[in-house]
Amino acid sequence: MTFRTIRRALLSVSDKTGLVELARSLIGFGVELISTGGTRKALADAGLSVRDVSEVTGFPEILDGRVKTLHPRVHAGILAVRDNPKHQAVLKEHEIAPIDLVVCNLYPFEATLAKPGSTHEDIVENIDVGGPSMVRAAAKNYHDVAIVTDPKQYDDVVFEMRTNKGSLSLATREKLAAAAFTRTAAYDQAIAAYMAKRIGNGAEFPATLSLSFQKKQALRYGENPHQKAAFYVEPGLIYACVASAEVLHGKELSYNNILDLDSALNLVRELHEPAAVCIKHNNPCGAATEASLAEAFARAYEGDPQSAFGGILGFNREVDEATATRITEPNRFIECIIAPGYSQAAYQLLTTRPTWKKNVRILKSGKLTGVPPHSLGLRQVDGGLLVQSRDVGTDDFKEAKVVTQRNPTPNEMADLRFAWLVAKHVKSNAIVLAKGGMVVGVGAGQMSRVDSVHLAVRKAGERVKGSVLASDAFFPFRDNIDEAARAGVKAIVQPGGSMRDQDSIDACNEHGLAMLFTGVRHFRH
Catalytic residue (one of 140, 197, 454, 511): 140
Catalytic residue (one of 281, 357, 454, 511): 281
Nearest-angstrom CA–CA distance, 247 and 216:
12
Angle between helices 154-163 and 170-199 (to 10 degrees): 160
Specify whether 427 is catalytic: no
Q: Which residues pair with 101 in a beta bridge?
A: 9, 146
Q: List CB contacts of 121: < 8 A, sequence separation 6 or more.
A: none
Nearest partner of 432 among 448, 419, 445, judged by Cα: 419
Nearest-angstrom CA–CA distance, 457 and 487:
7
The answer to whether 175 and 157 are in contact (CB under 8 A) is no
The dihedral through the CA atoms of 151, 155, 156, 159 has a sign that is positive
Q: List CB contacts of 200: < 8 A, sequence separation 6 or more.
A: 206, 207
Q: List CB contacts of 450: < 8 A, sequence separation 6 or more.
A: 477, 479, 480, 483
The answer to whether 432 and 470 are in contact (CB under 8 A) is yes
Element (H, E) at 143: none
User: Strands 311-315 and 334-339: what pairing?
Assistant: parallel
Annotate 29-90 with three-state secondary structure. Answer: CCCEEEECHHHHHHHHHCCCCCEEHHHHHCCCCECCCCECCCCHHHHHHHHCCCCCHHHHHH
Question: 180-190 burial, b for 16+ CB within 10 Å, e for fewer?
Answer: bbebbebbeeb
| Beta strands in 345-414, from DSSP E residues, in sequence order | 361-364, 376-381, 384-389, 401-402
In single-letter form, the type of residue at position 342 comes to Y
Nearest-angstrom CA–CA distance, 513 and 35:
75
Q: Which residues pair with 167 in a beta bridge?
A: 5
Q: Where are the alpha helices (DSSP H) in 94-235?
A: 109-114, 120-125, 130-140, 154-163, 170-199
Specify whether 281 is catalytic: yes
Angle between helices 130-140 and 170-199 (to 10 degrees): 140
The answer to whether 415 and 429 are in contact (CB under 8 A) is no
**Residues with catalytic function:** 140, 281
